Amino acid sequence: MKDLNERGLENQVKGTAKELKGRVRGNLGDATDNSSEHIKGRTEELKGKVQKNFGKAERKANPDNV
Q: Please state, in angstroms and rounded to a whole number, the distance separating the CA atoms of residues 26 and 24.
A: 5
Q: What per-residue string of b and e applies to 30-49 under the rule 16 or more CB within 10 Å gives b?
A: eeeeeeebbeebbebbeebe
**pLDDT recorded at residue 20:** 98
Cβ–Cβ under 8 Å, residues 32 and 13: no
Count Cβ atoms below 10 Å from residue 29 Cβ, excluding itself: 18
- pTM for the full predicted model: 0.86
pLDDT along the chain (66 residues), means of 10: 86 97 97 96 98 94 72
**pLDDT recorded at residue 62:** 78
Q: Please state, in angstroms and rounded to a whole number, the distance separating the CA atoms of residues 64 and 5.
A: 8
